[in-house]
Amino acid sequence: MYISEDSKAFKWLILLTGSFVTMLYGMAVFIATIALPDMMGALSSTQDQITWSVTGNIVATAIFTPFAGWISTRYEIRHILLISVVGFILSSFFCGFSNNLEQIVTARFLQGAFAAPLPPLAQTLILGAFPLYQRNLAIAIWGMANISGLVVAPMIGGFLGEILEWRWIFYCLMPFGFIAIALVYFTVPLQNDGQKNRFDWIGFISISICLGSLQIMFDRGERNGWFESNETIFQLGTALLAFYFFISHSLTYKTPFINLKIFKNWNYSLGLILIFFFGMLNFVPMIIFPPLLQELRGYPQSIIGLLIGVRGLGAFVGFALMAFANRLDPKISLSIAFALQGFSGLYMASFNIDMLFSQIAWAGIIQGMGVGMAWVPISVFAFSTIDKKYFGEATAMYHLVRNVASSLFISITVAVVLHTGQLNFGNLSSFVTFWNEGLVLNFANEMLNEFDTITIANLTKEVSRQSLMIGYINSFKLFAIVSFLTIPFLFLIRRQK
């Protein structure tokens, strides 16, 4: 039993269901970021290793997102959503049940694989249910629901992680999954068009190898010394070869895994470029702030969750503005959106290790507003001229590009933090010696033997904190640079009537 398509409330119920399942996906990605410091200690892993639990989830989503485009033409969207949510619930349980790094990364990969169809299929349902003149409002409301995962997840995760332990951060996703099952069952109709396209396994495997190799290369690049390592060269060569094989195969195969014809659409192709930059900027603050605040500032998880949740409030404001600004030139709104993110990056780059709660909150609000103001116009104009029969493939590729950009830039950002932090530690620690006369004079009242053993150790610990903070500042500068580099592409937008 489901709501009839003839009902006046049908499109709004579809919007509610699509928004909730998308929020479920957003919660899964964001909620783990709060637990990273605790998981790092409990699972005996380093900072670059524990981020695999996030990037692995995003990579799985990127690999299996285009898969949603094919299965949506072959099977009922309603059935796909139900299976995806059930798999999501089970994988969330195994995330909390994990006892080592390998288990949590595997469980998070499965969680991302099952969650992958949720955003593109939800967007496909919403685009199909609403007429063109209402899509701006529908996409804005859907985007708010997506961002609500950013608000709800950190706050729930922060309090549960502090009161109980990090495992309950994943267990709490299960009740939301059961609600999603009920919404899908009672609102999504049977509407398959009867197509039975053959699945392009060669294309799927080749693009999966390409994305997987790239992600592993960026995750392990800093640890391996980048291109001084044969492993990194092999991973890059594998990714390039797999990508070449994928393109050549897709151009000659009758029913390719991803129909390359959709790239002939100017608006859609430009939309993919912009959503790539958007994806690079979207997740990074969520990943680097928890370890920064907990390790360098000693903030509890509940406070970290609130600070990250504030970013979601800024995104709500951005979405609310765009819901009623459908006549505004996208060049103007997107310029403001990416400029806001760029200025937030510069503001964060001005932080020092004694940054205040209010400074972090304002940076999150500004950055969140940029996210909210960018998502709606990119999504609307990218799909404004796409034929409805390509919605499944187009939305799948759209979310693939966004997720690939997110996972790669997360790895690059973490590498920047660690690499520049180590460089600065080497430079600063050279001054922390017994032969530094200025340092010795400042501790003239201490015994020389105590200065050697205790004071030097404490100073070295402080140098480690300060050098790591410099690494974070460099990552914020990179964030700002990417934001401002996006603006020139906005002048390529062709205004639609």
Q: What is the pLDDT at residue 327?
A: 66
pLDDT band at 67 (very low <50, low <70, confident <90, very high): confident
Q: What is the pLDDT at residue 326?
A: 60
Q: Over the stretch 113-143, which tens digit does the pLDDT of each residue have?
A: 888 888 878 877 887 777 777 777 777 777 6
Q: How far is CA 268 from CA 167, 264, 443, in A?
A: 40, 8, 64
SS3 content of the chain, % helix, strand, coil (to 5): 80, 0, 20
Q: What is the pLDDT at residue 201?
A: 81
Mean pLDDT of 288-306: 78
**Placement of tokens 């390359």 in the chain:** 260
Residues 33, 38, 42: CA angle, nearest 5 degrees: 130
Percent of the chain with pLDDT over 70: 85
pLDDT band at 484 (very low <50, low <70, confident <90, very high): very high
Structure tokens at 119: 């955003």
pLDDT band at 2 (very low <50, low <70, confident <90, very high): very low
Q: What is the pLDDT at residue 1?
A: 44
Q: What is the pLDDT at residue 195?
A: 56
pLDDT band at 480 (very low <50, low <70, confident <90, very high): very high
Beta carbons of 18 and 125 less than 8 angstroms apart: yes
Above 80 in pLDDT, residue 171? yes
Mean pLDDT of 67-85: 80
Which of 115, 34, 481, 106 has its CA nearest to residue 287?
A: 34
Assess if CATH 3.40.50.920 describes domain 10-199+257-423+466-492.
no
CA 11 to chain centre: 28
Helices 391-429 + 201-224 axis angle, to 10? 10
Q: What DSSP designation does 352 have?
A: -
Above 80 in pLDDT, residue 279? yes
Q: Over the stretch 426-463, which tens digit does the pLDDT of each residue have?
A: 777 776 666 666 666 665 555 455 555 666 677 777 78
CA 48 to chain centre: 16
pLDDT band at 339 (very low <50, low <70, confident <90, very high): very high
Beta carbons of 122 and 22 less than 8 angstroms apart: yes
More confident residue, 36 or 475: 475
Q: Over the stretch 353-373, which tens digit does the pLDDT of each residue have?
A: 888 888 888 888 888 888 888
Q: What is the pLDDT at residue 90?
A: 92
Q: What is the DSSP string of 263-281?
A: GG-HHHHHHHHHHHHHHHH
Identify the burial level of 252 via C-beta atoms within 10 angstroms of its C-beta, where 0-12 means exposed, 13-18 middle and 19 or more buried. Answer: exposed
Above 50 in pLDDT, residue 374? yes
Above 60 in pLDDT, residue 494? yes
Above 90 in pLDDT, residue 241? yes
Beta carbons of 464 and 412 less than 8 angstroms apart: no
Q: Determine if the pTM surpasses 0.85.
A: no
Output the average pLDDT for the chain: 79
**Placement of tokens 């288990």 in the chain:** 103
Mean pLDDT of 398-425: 82
Domain residue ranges of the chain, discontinuous segments joined by +: 10-199+257-423+466-492
More confident residue, 68 or 317: 317
Q: Residues with Cβ < 8 Å from 333, sequence gap 6 or more? A: 322, 325, 373, 374, 377
d(CA 429, CA 353): 17
The three-class DSSP label of residue 484 is: helix
Which of 98, 91, 88 has its CA nearest to residue 166?
A: 98
Mean pLDDT of 220-243: 83
Q: What is the pLDDT at residue 446?
A: 52
**How many Cβ atoms are within 10 Å of 3's Cβ, its own excluded?**
16
